[in-house]
Amino acid sequence: MIDLSSIAAGLGGRPVAVFGLGLSGLATVSAFVRAGVSVTAWDDDETKRTQAASEGATISNLALADLSGFAMLVVAPGIPLTHPEPHVVVARAQDAGVEILGDVELLHRVHHGRKTIGITGTNGKSTTTALIGHILNAGGVTASVGGNIGRAALDIELPPKDGVIVLELSSYQLDLCPTFAPDIGVHMNLTPDHLDRHGDMAGYAAAKMRIFRGAGAAIIGVDDEPSRAMFKQVQDTGDRDVYAISVVNAVERGVYVSNGVLFDCMDGEAREIGSVSALTTLPGVHNHQNICAAYIATRLSGLDADTIMNAIKTYPGLPHRQFMTRVINGVAYVNDSKATNADATAKALVCYRNICWIVGGKPKDGGLNGLEPFMDRVRKAFVIGAAMDDFCKWLDNHGVEYVRSETLDRAVNDAHITAQAARGEPGGAGVVLLSPACASFDQFRSFEHRGDEFTKMVMALPEGDKA
């Protein structure tokens, strides 16, 4: 856990308020209490309040409290700051002139002296973060990985002075970082998401741009228009060394993939590094973008190309991101529960054919729009959750067969029966793919919970007839 004593020393004995007691909130409570700071905390969930109390926090409803005496309000990333309107606790803190920030900002203010790599983007940031951490550790550079993946920012262990901190950062987390400036900032892509929290694409892009505050290096995907605009903006400031990544075109300075081959032109001259097309734990063109970003970040951290490529080949993959759960009689069962929007699902659909597609949940803006080019890959869709009626209409309009499965357990069973029965048909064995293109909160606690339930259901399926 991160030692916050240096921050505590500057508080003048004033207490700290913590609102939202998920992983990051509880870690914040624990870190401040260990540093001798008085902490008042609140969450609507009684179980989480009990956990915070056991860590030494005073429990009080911050929506009713006088916040003027607090040194700061540390809020969970899920708490609205501006849109659709500020949460009442946020508004009260603003009125009282209390600084509002998040746990990543606190980590930055410790002045720990370690190189920090921050990764953001609509899609691909978790895989890229995990891949960077894997490559660094495999290459002999100790890396601590956390943030929006795995451990909370204040719950990581500081690596040695020559080590690296690798943080996945959502737009919500970046909104809570008034001064955080990673040594290497990575932005993968930008497609419409979380617009209810940011107001519009401009607000969403502005949140992502925070990762490029200050000096250092910037690695930016340039395969979508909003990200190209961000690239130009960062380049024009001149504050950071800027590298482009692409899986569509060659780039002048950066890394790109063409026909499955990785090219390094970080120094301005393209050099063939090797093939990335047959990596089973990093399937699809979208993962080529993740590889490009990880390659540059780890090269800038001191590793050579051979070391990086050898480490990439041993990457084990991440759960819930096109994770091969099981193969039954030649039919693959793939958990892509992390695909919470259409753009993420497109990256899975393009990798397979003869797909029995489990789709649905709590819908995002735009629904399934944009997935039209991939529908010829879908044998049948199995629709679940709050999006079911709208998604079934969309599938009807695009000539895709579907089953109204309603719940995940029914969908897994329906898809299993269909996929196993179709093994002898043209095209052969296919894929049962959970790639919902939706948030999970209508039926599950999180995308991880949804993916874990899918895995349990798939592992319980019978082998059946192998003929």
- Residues contributing to the annotated binding site for ATP: 121-127
Q: What angle do CA 396, 398, 400 make, to 5 degrees?
A: 65
Q: Which residues are annotated as a binding site?
A: 121-127
Kindly give, in sequence order, each residue whose CB lies less than 8 Å from that of residue 47, ignoring residues fewer than 6 positions away: none
User: Parallel, antiparallel, or unpaired: how do β-strands 164-168 and 184-187 relate?
Assistant: unpaired
Bridge partner list, 328: 331
Q: Which amino acid is at 450?
A: R
Q: Can you tell me the distance from the alpha carbon of 32 to that of 367, in angstroms, rounded to the nearest whole number?
A: 42
User: Which string of DSSP letters, residue by residue, matches 249-281?
Assistant: S--SSEEEEETTEEEEETTSS-EEEEE-TT-TT
Across the beta sheet with 58-59, the strand order is 58-59, 39-42, 16-19, 72-75, 99-101
State which H helix or E strand residue 404 sits in. Answer: strand 402-406
Contact present, 323 and 401 (Cβ < 8 Å): no
Bridge partner list, 151: 146
